[in-house]
Amino acid sequence: MLKTASRRRDRRALTLIELLIVITILLALGALIAVNFLGIGDQATKDLQQADLDRLAGTLRTYKVNMGDYPSEEEGLAVLWSKESLEEDDANAARWQKLLEEAPVDRWGNEIVYQRPSQLLDTEDPDTFDLISFGPDGEQDTEDDITNHDRKKNADGEIESASEFSGPGDIGGR
């Protein structure tokens, strides 16, 4: 009888091996969950950057309505917050309005690149422009670059020509 009571007391707690197995399983599950959620955060940041570029393209369209044309590549995005950036011979200088408070930067702290006419689209239209974020790596011409034309990419990652799109939102790079 004394031996039975002693054995019962010993079995109430987990053995060291059982405890190590439980900890290993919990760590493995935690690692799987963490790996899956880390990718979601990165994609969400890229999606937010795409939305920021869309808003900036809208700001450029507002500038065009006010001034009659998009900023030249020489004027750049600076004309959206600084009247001094206007070309000296701009006859519409009196119609200029401040549209941004400061220079736009991407979600990783890099400057947004403005090119006009577009160098990414296969078009001769001088009213096209590119807005480019160099993405998380901050390097030009890499896979993670984000542009205002990314929504126009086909399954192969190639930008479709503007004539293949008919929706009102598709003039975003024009």
Going along the chain from its start, the domains and CATH numbers come out as 19-171 (3.30.700.10)
pTM over 0.75, yes/no: no
| pLDDT > 70? residue 18 | yes
Please give the pLDDT value at position 10.
Answer: 53
In whole angstroms, give the CA distance from residue 165 to residue 123. 14
Amino acid at 162: A
Strand arrangement of the beta sheet that strand 113-115 belongs to: 113-115, 130-133, 146-147
Q: For 29-50, what is each residue's pLDDT tens digit?
A: 988 888 777 777 788 889 999 9
| pLDDT > 70? residue 171 | no
Mapped to the 3 state alphabet, what secondary structure does 118-173 carry? CCCCCCCCCCCCEEEECCCCCCCCCCCCEECCHHHECCCCCECCHHHCCCHHHHCC
Q: For 107-153, what is each residue's pLDDT tens digit?
A: 999 999 999 988 888 888 888 999 999 999 888 888 889 999 888 77
| pLDDT > 50? residue 170 | no
Neighbouring C-alpha atoms within 13 Å toward the C-beta of 136: 10
In whole angstroms, give the CA distance from residue 31 to residue 87. 56
